[in-house]
Amino acid sequence: MIRPAKVGDLPEILQLIKDLAIYEKAEHEVLATVEELERTLFGEVPKVFAHVVDVDGKVVGIAIWFLNYSTWLGKHGIYLEDLYVQPEFRGQGFGLALLKELARICVERGYPRFQWWVLDWNSPAIEFYSSHGAVAMDEWTVHRITGEALKKLGS
């Protein structure tokens, strides 16, 4: 079953985030804690949201998302930060069900865009997304600034 996350899901959500980071060869980059997730997902005015795959009371998949904005369209959209389903539960339609739920939210709220990033080496994910109508935005290059460079720029 796909449902919005609850506070009690946070330890399982954090483990799934770590599992995704291991898959993406970036485990060392996960600094999130259950407490931090609680503040961001369930604080007074949440800016980040999560849906989970619940199988017999166990969280086996996540979709973590937030609103983005298109100045050209003058409307919000959904940015999918993480989509992950435990390997033993893949192939059962859970990933697609998570995508469909977020697409449903877009349609219901009048958001014209639903987007995300995928690593260029992740062929299974690229094929999965493409098979459901996603189009690679390969004319765009992602830029990021962190750490000391961010501190320098912000000072």
CA distance 31 to 36: 9
> CA-to-CA distance for 89 and 129, rounded, in angstroms?
18
79 is catalytic: no
74: left (phi over 0), alpha (psi -120 to 50) or beta: left
User: Six-digit token pair at 68?
Assistant: 């983005």
Please choose, from the candidates 96, 102, 85, 86, the residue with its C-alpha nearest in 3D space to the C-alpha of residue 128: 96
Of the residues 79, 84, 111, 129, which is catalytic? 129
Dist. CA 137–CA 77, nearest whole Å: 16
Active-site residue numbers? Answer: 129
